[in-house]
Amino acid sequence: MAKFDPTKRDSFGTKFGVIAAAAGSAVGLGNIWRFPYVAGENGGGAFILIYLLFIIAIGIPVMLSEFTIGRRAKRNAFGSFKRLAPNTYWYLIGLLGVVAAFVILSFYSTVAGWTLEYIYLSFSNAFAEKTPDQLTTMFETFKAGTFRPILWQLFFMVLTAWIVIAGVKKGIEKYAKILMPILLLLIIVLDIRAITLPGASEGLDFLFRPDFSKLNTNSILEALGQAFFSLSIGMGTLITYGSYINKKQNLTSTAINVTAADTIIAILAGVAIFPAVFAFGIEPNAGPDLIFRTLPNIFQQMPGGYFFSLIFFILLGVAALTSSISVLEVVVAYFVEELGMLRKRATIVAAVSITALGILSTMSWGVMDDVRIFDFNIFELLDFTASSVFLPIGGVFIVVFLGWHLGKRNIKEEITSDGLYKAKLINLFVFIIKFLAPIAIAMVFLHGIGLLKF
Ligand code: TRP
């Protein structure tokens, strides 16, 4: 096996490339599928305000922490901890990240596969003249099948692996630079359609007029969890991407730009979806099925619905792809740098084994539905373990590592790029990562596993 040579490490080329790649990771199913339904279930506007607060107070600091650790060490998530804290157990956090990446991509590719089926269905005009019940049955039958969902999942994983094999600059960065502007364009088209629908204002009111009576402590914690998933933090994805950022780039402004892009796309997704939901008399709290069951219904009643449906699901697929490559890269970078594999082989081994687990998660909606662990099917178990257990644990230890182990002097050197940039808010940042963020994240975690009830 070829030994990894640190002097030949790949990296991102341009400032726009860094932002496109990291925003590509952040913007995904979490923004367009998860954010609207979670906001919908939690009453809309008031939830969004709390979400924004968490994004600013905790999301940006955690993201900046990941970039800082990655660029300081210039290694994969596991190797970064080994390098910055040799002869300690901190590398376990990196290992947890690699495992989490494995698990997240396995079920993420299931939903991404559904998205591809819905691109195909939109294209073949399959929603036309169907009743809401028929559309629901259509989704349920598809999801419970074996051949089709697995086929789409395989197809999606091949696409993901194909981009990752090409490398950081010539794969991830190149495609992110093309796909992210397309994504922005598509969502703006959808937004224009949505806000010109008769009755759109009710949807916009729902999103932007906060009604605090609809909030409970549960929604506050849900908002924090959503912030984590949406920003791709807590798992070492952004440690890995940070390790490809060169020293001339400003980490603070990168973290702020990426967070802003992620947040804006989430809001734009809400604006694309809720006016239509209200205009066609659908309940905003339809839950995780909101997109696959209700949107086709909306599209087929809407003028121009054929095209808007196609655009919507392509948008979702593109967003999922630029996120999935970032998750696969975590595992690939680990295989290449720690196990000395060649990139191509590492990507194939990672993608094949993730897909094997992913097939189980896809089949858990159909033939394997009776395999239950704590009442969860395999998909739900993988989702819960990764999102509600691994991410928060990872998040706490990432900020604690930076704040308490690396310390202020190292942090300052790294985020100022050795004095090239100013770091006016460094004391606030250090305070947040030492105290505020770990405590807040720990609360989400304890709530997620049911140890803390409000
Ligand atoms: N943030 C992506 C989304 O919104 C998903 C994702 C990519 C992710 N990398 C991650 C989530 C790392 C958690 C951790 O769909």
Structure tokens at 306: 């054929």
- Write out the residue range of the structural domain in which residue 375 sits: 6-448
Which position has the token pair 């790294």?
414
Residue 319 Cα, ligand 1 centroid: separation in angstroms?
A: 10
Model confidence over 11-54: pLDDT tens digits? 999 999 999 999 999 999 999 988 988 888 888 899 999 999 99
Mutation choice for ligand 1 from 238, 323, 393, 444, CB with most ligand atoms inside 8 A: 323
Pick the residue whose CA is nearest to atom 10 on ligand 1.
232
Model confidence over 52-66: pLDDT tens digits? 999 999 999 999 999
Which residues, 6+ apart, have CB-to-CB distance to 264 below 8 Å? Answer: none
Residue 301 has pLDDT above 80, yes or no: no
Taking CA atoms, 261 is separated from 133, 183, 248, 356, in Å, by 36, 11, 22, 33
E strands present in 239-293: none
CATH number, domain with residue 301: 1.20.1740.10
| Mean pLDDT confidence for 163-188 | 89
Residue 76, domain member (yes or no): yes
Give the predicted TM-score (pTM) of the model: 0.93
Residue 1, domain member (yes or no): no
Residue 32 Cα, ligand 1 centroid: separation in angstroms?
A: 12
Instruction: Supply the pLDDT for residue 448.
Output: 66
Which position has the token pair 């993988």?
382
Instruction: Supply the pLDDT for residue 454.
Output: 61
Residue 454, domain member (yes or no): no
Cβ proximity of 100 and 394 under 8 Å: yes
Query: Is 386 near ligand 1, meaning CB less than 6 Å away?
Result: no
Residue 295 has pLDDT above 70, yes or no: yes
Residue 324, domain member (yes or no): yes
Instruction: Supply the pLDDT for residue 28.
Output: 95
Backbone angles phi, psi at 235, to 5 degrees: -130, -5
Residue 137, domain member (yes or no): yes
Instruction: Supply the pLDDT for residue 27.
Output: 95
Residue 188, domain member (yes or no): yes
Residue 133 Cα, ligand 1 centroid: separation in angstroms?
A: 32
Instruction: Supply the pLDDT for residue 398.
Output: 97
Which position has the token pair 């993201």?
63
- Residue 312 banded pLDDT, cuts 50, 70, 90: confident
Residue 453, domain member (yes or no): no
- Residue 396 banded pLDDT, cuts 50, 70, 90: very high
Query: Is 226 near ligand 1, meaning CB less than 6 Å away?
Result: no
Ligand 1, atom nearest to 101 Cα: 12
Residue 243 has pLDDT above 70, yes or no: yes
Residue 400 has pLDDT above 70, yes or no: yes
Q: Which is nearest to 405 in space by CA: 63, 97, 91?
A: 91
Residue 287 has pLDDT above 70, yes or no: no
Cβ proximity of 314 and 308 under 8 Å: no
Residue 283, domain member (yes or no): yes
- The tally of domains found in the chain comes to 1
Model confidence over 141-171: pLDDT tens digits? 999 999 999 999 999 999 999 999 998 888 8
Cβ proximity of 415 and 408 under 8 Å: no
Structure tokens at 180: 């992210």
Instruction: Supply the pLDDT for residue 46.
Output: 92
Question: What's 434's DSSP letter?
Answer: I
Query: Is 153 near ligand 1, meaning CB less than 6 Å away?
Result: no
Mean pLDDT of the chain: 90
Residue 391 Cα, ligand 1 centroid: separation in angstroms?
A: 10
